[in-house]
Each structure stands twice: as structure tokens, then as C-alpha cells.
Structure 1
Amino acid sequence: MSALILALTAGAVVGLALGALGGGGSVLAVPALIYLLDFTPAAATTAGLIIVTATSLTALYAHARTGNVHWKAGALFAAAGLLPAAAAGALSARLPQPVLTGAFAAVAGLAAVDMLRPGQARGRASAVRPAKAAGIGAGLGALTGLLGVGGGFLTVPALVTVLATEMQAAVGTSLLVISANSLASLATRGATTAGIDWALVAPFTGAAILGAWDGRRLAAKAGGTRLRRTFALALLTVAALMLIDALT
């Protein structure tokens, strides 16, 4: 299978995940770039941010049109994460590749476990706590900057439990947070753009954007729970393979 076809296929899967679930796609994008398209971990995390930023903005527009974005709540999370995302983005280029791979494997495993949890286990809405929200937002920003992941798999449940956001609106609002954090991180990653193959990143991004448009409709037809479980199983496999790679 040619690299172009692999890029298009992986991009479509990433877009579907972001559009349907508000997260998870970026955790698949980086390993796809590394193991399918032969990117280095540093270049893959930067390319992943480019792909996730473009796709998240597209999906955000679609959710905003239907009123599924809480702008104030998203701005609170995003504002807290901007500086940590930028700082972690600068740090990422200095870390050894096995460290990045191992850290990413841990995050992918965490994302998979979270997706496998029943909806009831994600917690009931609680009173809004600005300080707690800011702390979580800062942590999400650092995660985005360091590993090139949007953090939507953590943002969605955080919005539900900390800011009392309904699930559907949390998915849309998480895309605002992802977009802001990804842009902040990209601003400090100029040194890692040299290893990016734009001939593959461009079609990957285009397929992801198209997939994001169909993500919401796919969620309505297949059901959010079934989709989360499918992506979770894929992530568990990815996490195991990356962990083995980091340790060998």
C-alpha cells in the first residue's frame, strides 16, 4: 500500500474520531505518522499538531453552527493552557525519542481506559470551580504541547464534571480547547518542522478535515458508546506497540 493511501486512510480515521467524540483522533495521528509513514517521534508530534489544529477548527465550526459550543467555558480552559502548551512545545524538541515514545504510549493507554469507562462512570456535573478548571486546563495545555495530542479525551469528561457541561456541548467545546492549545504549541515548534514530509501531511490533513464533517453523523448512526469502544481497542493496541518500541 502506498504512503499516500496510508496517509489518506489514517487521516479519515483521525477526522472521524475528532468529529464524533471530540477527542481521541490526535492520539491515533501520531503513531500513524511514526509507524505507517516513517516520521520521527519529534516530527510526528509536530505534524500531529498541524493535522489536529486544522481538523479541530473544522469540526469546531460544524459544532458551533448547531450551538454545541460553550464559548466561555472553553475560553477558561484554553486560556489556562496556552502558556503551558507553548512551554511544553519548546521542551519537546529537546527530549530523547524513546522518552517521547514511552510517554505517548502511556497517554494512549490512559485515553483507551477512559473511553472504555461506562458513561455513568464519567461523573455527575458538579459546582463550577474556576481554580480547578484553570488547573486542569493548564495540564491539558502541557500535554498538548509535549506530545502533540489535543487532549480531547480528557477535556470532554473534565468539562462534564468540573463545569457542568452537557455531553454533547462538551464534545463541541473541547474542540475549542484543542484548537487553542495546538496553535500555542505550534508557535514554539519551528525547529521540528524540518522533518515533516508535507507531501504526506497535506493529504493526511485533508482527509482528516473531510472525516470530521462526517464524524457527528457517524456518532448519531453508530452510537457514541460503540464508537468509543472501537477507538479504545485501537488505542490499547497502539499503546502496547509503542511501549514495546520504547523499551527495546
Structure 2
Amino acid sequence: MTLALAVAAGLLIGLSLGALGGGGSILAVPVLVYLLDQTATQATTGSLVVVGVTSLIGAVTAQRAGNVLLGRGAVFGAVGIGGAALGAKGAAYVDDDVLLAAFAALMLIVGAIMAWRQLHHGRRGAHSARPHLDDPIISFSPTFACNCPRALKVLITATAVGLLTGFLGVGGGFLVVPALVLALGLPMRYAAGTSLVAITITSAAALAVRAGAATAPDWGVVATLTVASAAAAALGARVADRADTGRLQIAFTVLVLAVAVYTGARALPALL
């Protein structure tokens, strides 16, 4: 029964990631806790595996489609490693109910952001031109030059994203994409694919810090969830080509908000 639940949940997560380009990984923690009987600490650790592997596969797919700026994604991810390590260490000292309450609050924020985006969809024109790559933030040749305000944006946003990734075990695509748009000036088309590179790096860093330090999840369950999610992501991409993406996004937003309310209702009473 546990194996069947892991497969079904993995398919749902993968389909949402493939069809919507992100967001599905936020379901991994509640799935691991409430369907697969993992503690919050185990779930946030196991979720990093699901997030990291699925993001890596998605990044490879996006790279083949020409929608990834590998250098910028790698830099953003590398800057976020410090925050990811700090968040991963901090999670080990926080009570499970506090982790779940924080996760519920994050899901509510994510659901609100997704709803806001849907309400404002289409107001801004799409940018399809590939951004220029000859505008580095910091350069040393022929002379040293620094676009310091922009560098500070990258430092703050990447560290914040890494912190959330390490602490709550989420990919944070809903945070990385707007961060890449604001801090690096990437068009949305490239921000979505490039974010997967950054997520892969920060997830791997957080998992490395947690290895041996936190209570290990049931790796068999996590592996099953990861394989199902990764396999379904490709199918989700095909679904996106045929289905009404707007309706899919609305349905997923409702699902995220419902799971957030359920998670909060389970976690908050334990804190009072």
C-alpha cells in the first residue's frame, strides 16, 4: 500500500512539475508526512532528493530546448549554497510541528502568489529574445568593474532562496524564477529553465549538509517517489502542449491552498 501511495503521489508531483513548469515539489513534504508516515524532519530531507533529481532532469530537458543560461544558473545556485547549508543545519534544531506550521505558511504564500499571477496573466508581454550575455555583474578584464547594486540583489535573493530550500526542503522554483527576473534581468522564458540549475545546486548542497546529521527518511519510499515524479515530469510536459494550461494552474493553485490549510490544521493545534 505504501509503495502504491508513493507511486501515485510521485506521478502527481511529476505531472504538475512537467505541465506547469514548477511548484509540484512543494507537495513532496506533506505527501511524505501524511501519506507515507515520515516525520517532518525526514520529509524535508527526503524532499530534497525528489526536488534535486526532478530539477536536474528538467534542467537537461530545458537545456536541449535552448531555454537555459547555464552560467547564470550555476552562479545563482553557487551563491545560494551558503543559505542552503545554514537552513539545513537550522532545521535539525526545530521541532517537527514548527517545521510543518512554517511549511503550511509557505504554501499559503505560494498559493496566493500563484493566484495573483493568474489574475494578472497577460498584462505584460512575453519576452522571447535571448538576453545579452556580455553584461557581467563583476568583471576583472580589462579593468575591474562591479555593478554592485545588482550584485547585492543576487547575493540577497540567492541566499534567501537557499535558506528556504535547506530549511523546508522545497525547490523554491516559485521564488527562484522571480528572483532571476529581478536580480539578473532574465526574460521569463529563460528564468524558468535556468532556475532548475540553481535549484539542483542548492538542493544538493542542503542534502549534503543534512546527510548524517538529521534522522534519515525511508530511502526506499523516497526513491520510489523520486522515480515516479521524474518519469511523470516528461509526461506532464506533453500534457501542457495539449491541455489548457490556465485551467491546470487554477486546479493546482486550489490543490496547494487546500494542502496548506490541511497541514496548518494538523500542525497548529500541537503548538498551542
Same fold (TM over 0.5): yes
Any idea what SS the aligned residue of 2:80 has?
Answer: helix
Cα offset, 1:243, TM superposition = 1.0
* CA deviation profile, 1:36-74 (whole Å, cap 9, x unmatched): 111100000000001111111111111111111112331
Q: Choose which of 147, 152, 158 in structure 1 pairs with 2:168.
A: 147
Distance change >3 Å, CA 159–CA 84, structure 1 → 2: same
Aligned length: 246
Task: Provide the residue aligned with 1:33 in structure 2.
Answer: 32
Distance change >3 Å, CA 46–CA 9, structure 1 → 2: same
Q: Percent identity?
A: 43
Task: Provide the residue aligned with 2:130 in structure 1.
Answer: none
**Structure 1: 5+ residue runs without aligned partners?**
none
Please state which structure has a larger fraction of its residues in helix: 1
Task: Provide the residue aligned with 2:112 in structure 1.
Answer: 113
**Counterpart-to-counterpart distance in 2, 1:78 and 1:17:** 23
Q: Choose which of 162, 165, 170 in structure 1 pairs with 2:183.
A: 162
TM normalised by structure 1 equals 0.91
**2:87 partner amino acid:** A
Any idea what SS the aligned residue of 2:186 has?
Answer: coil
Aligned positions of 1:80-95 closer than 5 A: 80-95=79-94
**1:154 partner amino acid:** L
Any idea what SS the aligned residue of 1:94 has?
Answer: coil
Q: Choose which of 176, 183, 189 in structure 1 pairs with 2:204.
A: 183
Moved more, 127-136 or 163-172: 127-136
Runs of 4+ in 1 over 4 A off after TM superposition: 120-125
State whether structure 2 residue 217 is matched by structure 1 residue 196: yes
**Structure 2: 5+ residue runs without aligned partners?**
128-134, 138-149
Task: Provide the residue aligned with 1:52 in structure 2.
Answer: 51
Distance change >3 Å, CA 230–CA 102, structure 1 → 2: same
**Counterpart-to-counterpart distance in 1, 2:213 and 2:256:** 25
Moved more, 11-20 or 79-88: 11-20
CA contact (8 A) 1:101 1:246 kept: yes
CA contact (8 A) 1:22 1:153 kept: no
Distance change >3 Å, CA 77–CA 120, structure 1 → 2: farther
Distance change >3 Å, CA 215–CA 167, structure 1 → 2: farther
CA contact (8 A) 2:157 2:183 kept: no
RMSD between superposed Cα atoms in Å: 2.2
* Larger of the two Rg values belongs to structure: 2
* CA deviation profile, 1:13-37 (whole Å, cap 9, x unmatched): 1122223333212210110110111
Distance change >3 Å, CA 122–CA 56, structure 1 → 2: farther
CA contact (8 A) 2:111 2:253 kept: yes
TM normalised by structure 2 equals 0.84
